[in-house]
Chain A
Amino acid sequence: MGTVSLFKAETRRLAKRRFSRYFVLGAVLVLVAVAIGMFVSNEKPTPAVIAQAQAEADRYFQEQTGYAAEEKKRCESLTPEQMKQQYGEGFTCDQLGQLQREDVQIQDFMPSQFDFRENFPGMVTTLAAILAMVAFVVGASFIGAEWNSGGMMNLLLWRPRRLQVLSTKLAALVVSLIGLTVTLSAVWTGLFWVIATMRGTTAKMTSGAWQSIGLLELRGMVLVLAAGMIGFGLASIGRHTAMALGAAIGVIVVFQFGLAVVLQVARVRFAEAYLLPFWGIAWLEKEWEVLDYNAPCDFSAVNGCEPPSMVITWQMAGIAMLAVVGLVTMAAMWTMRKRDIT
């Protein structure tokens, strides 16, 4: 009963906060802009569109054939000396390229269409990345503002079980993020299904394809939750929202841009493996192949000289993410338990 009422209060508190509302609203507006952009930049291959593309392809073929004929005529008018000078020894005008009809594909003249099976996974990644950023900032602010305003102390006067209070707050954040991510993912999927229906195709959506999208959305949600928990944990350790935001900026500046330059200069092997975004991509796209251009290449008779590669799998990325989340959460709990509240 006690924990349930505290959970209810904390969920209400999170939903009532203007910062949370405005930040989520901002993210939704960005997502709407992305969806509108995709809608506008794609077009369904209607018979009229296909006919127009066919006409353009024909016109192109005619143009190119005309140019080729003119070129052949010009070639045949050259003296052997001029021929040798322009085309080289032993060249004959029959060797000039002649465009074949099958070389001109109608697809090259069609406006792009939104292929749900092909293009929607990229949209899921976009959704996950935006929501992960929202989760980090909202999570950090949720606990950071409480510490900063004295609300946390007030709450502890009512519920003097520190770990229970912090855990319940974290649970309220996680459950709210799950609710937000599931809702937006469902709306996102529906929205792009409509876009694909109106401006592209929903063909080849087998149960396997749906399962793959479902799993991708699930991995996206885990990424969102991890970002939220890390933001929450860092702000709780520092007892201020700025602590989490500072840490995030520090990680981006020092460990990404700075580290990338250092790794490049030091010609470190598999440099990309040290950079977080590639682990994120590996998590969402199931794997990421890191190529090592700083090492001697692997030679094979079939493929020639290829740089050595290392694959970051989604399992490896998942374990790394779990370790970071666990470490930050445990540190937040430990400081909550041990430190005086002054």
Chain B
Amino acid sequence: MTAVLEISGLQKTYRSRKGARKALDGFDMVVEAGQVHGFLGPNGSGKTTTLRTLLGLIKPNGGRMTILGREVPQHLPEVAGLVGAIVESPQFFGNFTARETLSLLADAGGVDQRRVDAVLEVVGLRERAAERVKTYSLGMKQRLAVASALLKEPKFLILDEPANGLDPGGIREMRTLMRTLSDSGMTVLLSSHILAEIQLICDSVTIIAAGRRVAAGSVAEVLAEHRSTKVKVRLEPGVDMFGAAQALRAAGAEVTLEQDHFIVGNASRPAQITRLLAGHQIFVSELTPVTVDLESVFLQLTGTAPVEGANRQVDDVAATAGNGWGQ
């Protein structure tokens, strides 16, 4: 598979009177052709800086980036026609209608005006196209932003929080749209905080924290990388749970008792549990591995899981997989 996007060692430092702040600290990312790639990270981790740098809006302090095989920002004008993008919240001139907005963009980009109605249809704004953008809800502006990105029939689509402000139906439509676009051969880079969505529609992900990549690969690979060895054990009703826990602890297991079951923390070979308990005439009614989802991996990798009684600050981010991929 060929890479549509390659970023290596990207650096960006913001300097102000208060001092310097590293927004990107040697960030790496690869997006393969035809994939829907999720780009995840907590607030202030460098996602938007990465996208803006990629699109030539911010000048990097170091690193290398290529889009569709062309080095950017040097060759950005040559590939800009093939890249559709929305960055952060959709921003349009409020007094123009959706059709005027897209028509002006089509003129500016030398795109056939017939594309305007086509993309309005795709994003579901056909019947509201003659209304001023300032009367639109956030979700409708988001749809218009996606329409503007699709206008030039891009090969590579960059969407920053496209589901922001959409209702549940809109989120599902967006998901279907992403899949349809990907099936048509378009590569999609999707930045989002809705991790369940990312898990559902993305083929691969990159997770960024504190300006560095902390995980990357297919969703399955990232989950497998952080696969849990925990096993949930439930016994027949009335069976002595404490006795069973004691027997397992005596064999070296880490056991955490819950109300009607217990968790074995280091169960790399779950069969051992049934064998050991059967030896004590204790029979297991349920033995299930504790699965991880993208959200728990994200919280673990970025160190942003809420801690009871503590108010986490935006900059309290830990790139916990400092020795992981790409480091």
Listed in ascending order, the chain A residues whose CB lies under 8 Å from chain B are 1-2, 5-6, 8-10, 12-13, 16-18, 145-146, 149-151, 153-161, 340-342
- The answer on a CB contact under 8 Å between B87 and A159 is no
The interface residues of chain A lying within 8 Å CB-to-CB of B92 are 149-151, 154
Contact call B95/A342, Cβ cutoff below 8 A: no
Decide: A1 and B56 in contact? CB cutoff 8 A. no
Q: Is B55 an interface residue (CB 8 A)?
A: yes
With A5-B107, A5-B109, A157-B87 already in contact, the answer to whether A18 and B95 are too (CB < 8 A) is yes
B312 to chain A, nearest CB (A): 24
* Assembly CA distance A149 to B134 (angstroms): 11
Question: B77–A160 contact, CB under 8 A?
Answer: yes
Give a binary string over B233-247; 1 marks a CB under 8 Å from any A CB, 0 the rest: 000000000000000
Please tell me if the beta carbons of B58 and A157 are within 8 angstroms of each other in the complex: no
B314 within 8 A of partner (CB): no
9 other A-B residue contacts (CB within 8 Å) besides A10-B108, A151-B93: A5-B109, A5-B110, A9-B105, A9-B108, A150-B91, A160-B80, A341-B52, A341-B58, A342-B58
**Shortest distance from the beta carbon of A19 to any chain B beta carbon, whole Å:** 8
Residues of A within 8 Å of B96, CB to CB, are: 16
Q: Once the chains bind, are B108 and A340 in contact (CB under 8 Å)?
A: no
How close is B96's CB to chain A, nearest CB, in angstroms? 7
Q: Are the C-beta atoms of B104 and A13 separated by less than 8 Å?
A: yes
A160 partner, pick from B55, B87, B91, B105, beta carbons under 8 A:
B55
Task: Say yes or no: B93 contacts A158, CB within 8 Å.
Answer: no
CA distance A18 to B204 in the complex (A): 46
Complex partner residue of B91 from A2, A8, A154, CB under 8 angstroms: A154
Chain A min CB distance to B132 (Å): 10
Q: Does B152 contact A (CB under 8 A)?
A: yes
Bound together, the chains give a CA A281 to CA B258 distance in angstroms of 90
Show 25 residue pairs from A and B whose CB-CB distance is below 8 angstroms, ordered by the A residue.
Answer: A1-B110, A5-B108, A9-B104, A9-B108, A16-B104, A149-B91, A150-B91, A151-B91, A151-B92, A153-B57, A154-B91, A154-B148, A155-B105, A156-B55, A157-B57, A158-B80, A158-B105, A158-B109, A159-B77, A159-B80, A160-B73, A161-B77, A340-B57, A341-B52, A342-B58
The 3 A-B residue pairs with the shortest CB-CB distance, nearest first, are A150-B91, A9-B107, A9-B108
B59 and A340 within 8 A (CB): yes
Q: How far is A141 from B57 in the complex, measured between Cα atoms in Å?
A: 22
From A146, A157, A340, B93 is in contact (CB under 8 Å) with: A146
CB-CB under 8 A from A12, the residues of chain B are 104, 107
Interface membership of B69, Cβ < 8 A: no
Chain B residue contacts of A153, Cβ below 8 A: 57, 87, 91
Which of the listed residues B56, B91, B105, B108 has the most CB atoms from chain A within 10 Å of its own CB?
Answer: B108
Q: How distant is the Cα of A13 from the Cα of B57 in the complex, in angstroms?
A: 22
Q: Mark B38-80, 1 if CB is under 8 A from A, else 0.
A: 0000000000000010011111000000000000010011001
Interface residue range, chain B: 20 to 34
Mask: chain B, 151-176; 1 = CB below 8 Å from A; 0 = not: 01000000000000000000000000
Which residue of chain B has its CB nearest to the CB of A4?
B110
Q: Which of B80-121 contact A (CB under 8 A)?
A: 80, 85, 87, 91-96, 100, 104-105, 107-110
Whole-angstrom distance between the Cβ of B189 and the nearest chain A Cβ: 14
Q: How far is the CB of A27 from chain B (nearest CB, A)?
A: 20
| Docked pose: A160 CA to B80 CA in angstroms | 7
Residue of B nearest to A2 (CB): B110
Residue in contact with B57 in the complex, picked from A156, A158, A159, CB distance below 8 Å: A156
| Cβ B95 vs Cβ A160 within 8 A | no
Complex interface bits, B198-228 against A, C-beta within 8 A gives 1, otherwise 0 = 0000000000000000000000000000000
* Shortest distance between the CB of A38 and any CB in chain B (Å): 36
A157 nearest in chain B by CB position: B85
**Given A156-B56, A341-B58, also A17-B109 (CB < 8 A):** no
* Contact across chains for B57 and A342 when beta carbons are under 8 A apart: yes
* B80 lies within 8 A of A340 (CB): no
Contacts of B87 in A (CB 8 A): 153, 157
Which residue of A has the minimal Cβ distance to B151? A158
Contacts of B105 in A (CB 8 A): 9, 154-155, 158
| Chain B residues whose CB sits within 8 angstroms of the CB of A17 once the complex forms | 95
Max chain A C-beta neighbours (<10 A), residue from B76, B94, B96:
B96
The answer for the CA separation of A195 and B132 in the assembled complex, in Å, is 43
A151 to chain B, nearest CB (A): 5
B91 and chain A: residue at smallest CB distance:
A150
Least Cβ distance of A176 to chain B in Å? 15
Q: For residue A5, which residues in chain B have a CB less than 8 angstroms away from its CB?
A: 107-110
Which residues of A have CB within 8 Å of B80? 157-160
Which chain B residues lie closer than 8 Å to A159 at the CB level?
Answer: 77, 80, 108-109
Partner of A341, one of B57, B76, B110, B152: B57
Is there an interface contact between A155 and B108, defined as CB atoms closer than 8 Å?
yes
Contact of B94 among A10, A149, A158 (CB under 8 A): A149
Write the nearest CB–CB distance from A31 to chain B, whole angstroms.
Answer: 25
- Which chain A positions have C-beta within 8 A of B95? 17-18
CA distance A172 to B136 in the complex (A): 29
CA of A133 to CA of B108, assembled, Å: 29
Residue of A at shortest CB range from B148?
A154
- Bound: A6/B110 CA distance, A: 8
